[in-house]
Structure 1
Amino acid sequence: MNAPDVSVVVAVYNTMPYLIQCLDSLVAQTIGLDRLQVVAVDDGSTDGSGAELDRYAARHPGVFTVIHQANSGGPAAPFNRGLDAATGRYVFFVGADDHLGPDALRRLVEAADAWESDVLLGRVVGVNSRHIYQDIFARNQVDVDLFDSPLPRSLANTKLFRRELLENYGIRYREDLPLGSDLPFTLEACYRARRISVLADYDCYYAVRRHRATNITYLSRHADRLRTVEATTAFVAELIPAGRQRDAVLARRFDHEIAKLLEDDLLRLDRETQQLVHDGIGRLVRAHLTEGIAAQLNAETRIRLALTRDGALDDLLAVIRQDAQGGVPPTVVEGSRRYAAYPGFRDPARGLPDACFEVTPDWYAKLDATALAWETDERGEKVLTITAASPVPDLAAVGAEPLAVSAEEIPGEVTTLDRGPRGTTLRIRFRASDLLAGTGPTGQRRAVSAQVGGFDPGRAAGAQTATGAAGSAAVRAPRIRAMAPLVRRRGARLYVVTPVLDESGRLMISVVPVTAARVAAQLRRTLRRIR
């Protein structure tokens, strides 16, 4: 019997009912079951997932290899067990709550064969407002450079790997990491690969955000996430020599995994955990935050990171509290230098260096949303109107106009309403029709951010970075409560458009389809509140 072209490895732990759609998408692949092996590893599920795997194996003999094992605490061990059992020329890893487009594996295998790719990325799209960075999928690419591309922001394991590459270098998942084990695995595979390619003209992979968000990534605690980022950062430093290439990979770690540990929710943790996070990130900053990496981060992230290195825990918490509750602090301008006058700035009792608070012109893009409303514009269209405030009295005088505001790739209409000694008031409008037109059938959540110097979609928050690249700033809404959603029809489906806040008080716009599962999830949340 010939070896299959591709082995799909699925790590399974309590993923019903999502598992059924995942498995259905595999057996429906146009590549044909004779060219496919599915290795599914049940990691001690208690919700019937293991029995469901056995049913699929019975229906499709010779296609499924099902392995049952005691719970290991994370996906690394089941992925390794599945990889050991794989026999295909290529291996593709699938999350058990995700699913594939029907023609995904055929297209991926044909492209990898034609391009002689060792690693091939197929286009990934988010479901239920799960955010997926899309810049790597701008076009088909035969040869992608790991260090001169957006690839370091897309190092999940949901890719096609040549199995020979993995075996030659002994690349396996780190089982000491309960989460984040796919990053060192994928990074090493990309680092060792002779060719990395991108297939962007087909939606290959649908990454699902569970309605109840019960998987290990969503439930992970700060201490676990800190241990993971410490381990992965050390792995990067060991794998890649110091310099531009290492910085290209670590910039993503600082912008995303590390920066997210310093979100506003740090204020709600116990003192011991706060201190653990402050001290741990301080060590990472001292060891690995180079000037080249810092230059790629926005001002808010740079300030918080600097305070883990040069300040005490209370200094960091004071800055986070200001952003979360007090809004944008004043700006001190001295010649060509600008400083954010957060609590602790030039406080003799704190003794913090001015450099901790130094900001670049992108600081002037920092806005607080003060009001949200659904309105009807002059053309009779529904628009989301955001009233936003800047502490800068005259943005034009400091070279901050034009100021562009966007929901990622969708630009808003910005109008200056008032200028005065206390700052500038802006009106930002997004047409509901634009938000709907730019959203795929599974929905999307976009970050709202501002930029100095005109609109550049590549600098918007959420496009390449979690918090916004240098030159942009996420729009915050520290004192705004949730507002009513807008329901609109597009084609045969109803969509709900809602401004929401993330865990750090940053403004997002969510567009999601109305589905039975979503209605049921909302009903469960409502019932829990009533009880």
Structure 2
Amino acid sequence: MAVPDVTVVVAVYNTMPYLTACLDSLVGQSLAPGRLEVVAVDDGSTDGGGELLDEYAARHPGLFTVVHQSNSGGPAGPTNRGLELARGRYVLFLGADDWLGEEALERLVTAADAWGSDVVVPKQVGVNGRLVPQGIFHADAESVGFADSALAWALADTKLFRLDLVRRHGLRRDEGLKVFSDQPFTLEACLRAARVSVLASYDCYFLVLREDRGNVTERAGVLDRLRGIAALQQVAVELAEPGEELDAIRARSFGWDVPRLLREGFLLLTADMQERVCVETARLVERFGAREVYHRLPVAERVRLELACAVRPEALRDQVRYEAAHGDPPVVVDGRRQYAGYPAFRDARLGLPDELFLLREEAAEAEVEAAAGPLDLARQLWRGLVPEQVRRGLRRNPAWRRLADSVNGGRG
């Protein structure tokens, strides 16, 4: 039996009527017959989805392999089962409520073969208000990393993976995670990949926000989300290079995933749960060195994280309400420093450091002059009036380099 180019794995649990569009998009792929196989795993659906899978398999022999199993409690189990059955050179995971553009798989396989990619990130489009960060999709890219792109914001498993990479490293989703189990899987694959690429020139993958908000992530509890974030960060600690690569991954979680759990939804939790969320957040911050990337985060996110770390749910509630009512706070000017004037700023009862609220700090005039040097000399310097050996020495000074660029339009 010929090896297909790509296996699409679809984990199915009560996604009607969205499942029909998903399956239709697979039937309608431009990839030639025999180059595609679909492994659909019905995880105990009760809405007729399992029967629909059998109908499509009967109508399209050779395309669909359907597996029925008892409900496992999350998407990791059926996804792993589908992965075990995959035979293609590449594998792509497709949500049962999402769909693919007609040429998506053909273009992805062509790109992966041409670039020698282990992972290809396809252009993704949100449907019905689904939020999909677009930072990484500004152009096709043969090779990207966490330090030089927005890859840290694209950690869902909605990608094309070389199956040999997955098998060689024994990559599987953690079935103990009810949500975000795809992110540690994807992160490990990207960190172990020889090349990660981006196909941004075609709308490949359409992610749907269901009207009933029934998507797995939407209905997940806050503690389940925190456990998923912890699993992601553990992979980062073990495999990412310290420095820019690791910091980019930490900034993703602590600049977005964790702080968003400390917004309006926090107010709806019981008092006991609010305290527990604070305790678990504090553990994450300490365990994974979140404070090392605080300088990358907006002030509001830092403040909410630290109020949680202090286990002050009442102050965190006040912060959330203030942000909802007022938006950006007033700016407090203290000498050369400017601070976000949230109510928690310099509140003696909380004792949060001023640096947490720092927006910007202006350099002293003497410091600017010392760094830049005399302006007349700089003009002479970059007009070629200073000997070349002196110019070469001064070019090693970053301050001189910046000044030269501003005076001479960056021509050195």
TM-score bracket, shorter-length normalisation: 0.7 to 0.9
User: 2:6 maps to which residue?
Assistant: 6
User: 2:23 maps to which residue?
Assistant: 23
User: 1:243 maps to which residue?
Assistant: 243
Q: Distance in 2 between matches of 1:327 and 1:37?
A: 50
SS of the aligned residue for 1:303 comes to helix
Displacement, 1:265? 2.2
User: 2:139 maps to which residue?
Assistant: 139
SS of the aligned residue for 1:295 comes to helix
User: 2:73 maps to which residue?
Assistant: 73
Q: How does 1:413-428 map to 2 (within 5 A)?
A: none
Displacement, 1:359? 3.1
Q: Distance in 2 between matches of 1:340 and 1:260?
A: 19
356 and 195 in structure 1: CA distance in 2 versus 1, 3 angstrom threshold: closer
Q: Distance in 2 between matches of 1:116 and 1:255?
A: 33
Query: Aligned pair 1:261/2:246, yes or no?
Result: no
Q: Distance in 1 between matches of 2:209 and 2:112?
A: 28
User: 2:392 maps to which residue?
Assistant: none
TM-score normalised over the length of structure 2: 0.83
2:68 maps to amino acid: H
Q: Distance in 1 between matches of 2:290 and 2:132?
A: 27
Q: Distance in 2 between matches of 1:349 and 1:56?
A: 64
SS of the aligned residue for 1:342 comes to coil
User: 2:224 maps to which residue?
Assistant: 224
348 and 162 in structure 1: CA distance in 2 versus 1, 3 angstrom threshold: closer
SS of the aligned residue for 1:50 comes to helix
SS of the aligned residue for 1:306 comes to helix
User: 1:102 maps to which residue?
Assistant: 102
Displacement, 1:77? 0.8
User: 2:371 maps to which residue?
Assistant: none
Query: Does the aligned pair in 1 maintain the 2:184–2:235 contact within 8 Å?
Result: yes
User: 1:320 maps to which residue?
Assistant: 320
Query: Does the aligned pair in 1 maintain the 2:336–2:361 contact within 8 Å?
Result: no
Query: Does the aligned pair in 2 maintain the 1:307–1:356 contact within 8 Å?
Result: no
Displacement, 1:327? 5.0
321 and 27 in structure 1: CA distance in 2 versus 1, 3 angstrom threshold: same
Displacement, 1:241? 4.8
SS of the aligned residue for 2:225 comes to helix
Write the deviation string for residues 334-356 of structure 1: whole angstroms up to 9, x where unpaired.
11223334334333344343334
Query: Aligned pair 1:214/2:193, yes or no?
Result: no
1:274 maps to amino acid: Q
2:154 maps to amino acid: S
Displacement, 1:57? 0.7
SS of the aligned residue for 1:34 comes to coil
Query: Aligned pair 1:175/2:175, yes or no?
Result: yes
SS of the aligned residue for 1:283 comes to helix
Q: Distance in 2 between matches of 1:177 and 1:267?
A: 25
User: 1:36 maps to which residue?
Assistant: 36
Displacement, 1:296? 1.6
Query: Does the aligned pair in 1 maintain the 2:187–2:232 contact within 8 Å?
Result: no
Q: Distance in 2 between matches of 1:256 and 1:350?
A: 24
TM-score normalised over the length of structure 1: 0.65
Q: How does 1:276-355 map to 2 (within 5 A)?
A: 276-290=276-290, 293-310=293-310, 312-325=312-325, 328-355=328-355
SS of the aligned residue for 1:33 comes to coil
For structure 2, the residue ranges without an aligned partner over 5 or more in a row are: 363-412
Displacement, 1:129? 1.6
For structure 1, the residue ranges without an aligned partner over 5 or more in a row are: 363-531
Q: Distance in 1 between matches of 2:323 and 2:57?
A: 53
357 and 314 in structure 1: CA distance in 2 versus 1, 3 angstrom threshold: farther
Q: Distance in 2 between matches of 1:20 and 1:311?
A: 46
Q: Which has the higher helix share?
A: 2
Displacement, 1:298? 1.1
102 and 348 in structure 1: CA distance in 2 versus 1, 3 angstrom threshold: closer
2:351 maps to amino acid: G
Q: Distance in 1 between matches of 2:104 and 2:351?
A: 57
SS of the aligned residue for 1:66 comes to strand
2:6 maps to amino acid: V
Displacement, 1:292? 5.1
Q: How does 1:39-50 map to 2 (within 5 A)?
A: 39-50=39-50
Q: Distance in 1 between matches of 2:350 and 2:136?
A: 43
Q: How does 1:411-490 map to 2 (within 5 A)?
A: none
1:151 maps to amino acid: L
Measured on the aligned residues, the alpha-carbon RMSD in Å equals 1.9
Q: Distance in 2 between matches of 1:243 and 1:249?
A: 10
321 and 142 in structure 1: CA distance in 2 versus 1, 3 angstrom threshold: same
User: 2:93 maps to which residue?
Assistant: 93
User: 1:53 maps to which residue?
Assistant: 53
Query: Does the aligned pair in 1 maintain the 2:188–2:235 contact within 8 Å?
Result: no
Deviates more, 1:226-235 or 1:20-29: 226-235
Q: Distance in 2 between matches of 1:195 and 1:295?
A: 29
2:138 maps to amino acid: A
Task: Kindly tell me the number of residue pairs found equivalent between the two proteins.
Answer: 362
Query: Does the aligned pair in 2 maintain the 1:299–1:360 contact within 8 Å?
Result: no
User: 2:380 maps to which residue?
Assistant: none
Displacement, 1:291? 5.5
Deviates more, 1:68-77 or 1:138-147: 138-147
SS of the aligned residue for 1:40 comes to strand
334 and 311 in structure 1: CA distance in 2 versus 1, 3 angstrom threshold: farther
Displacement, 1:229? 1.7
User: 2:195 maps to which residue?
Assistant: 195
2:305 maps to amino acid: L
1:29 maps to amino acid: Q
Q: Distance in 2 between matches of 1:191 and 1:234?
A: 13
Q: Distance in 2 between matches of 1:261 and 1:361?
A: 30
Write the deviation string for residues 93-143 of structure 1: whole angstroms up to 9, x where unpaired.
100001111111111111111111111112111111212111211111111
User: 2:112 maps to which residue?
Assistant: 112
Query: Does the aligned pair in 2 maintain the 1:233–1:250 contact within 8 Å?
Result: yes
1:342 maps to amino acid: Y
User: 2:409 maps to which residue?
Assistant: none
348 and 120 in structure 1: CA distance in 2 versus 1, 3 angstrom threshold: closer
1:306 maps to amino acid: E
User: 1:434 maps to which residue?
Assistant: none
Displacement, 1:360? 3.1
361 and 126 in structure 1: CA distance in 2 versus 1, 3 angstrom threshold: farther
SS of the aligned residue for 1:346 comes to coil
Q: Distance in 2 between matches of 1:271 and 1:320?
A: 15
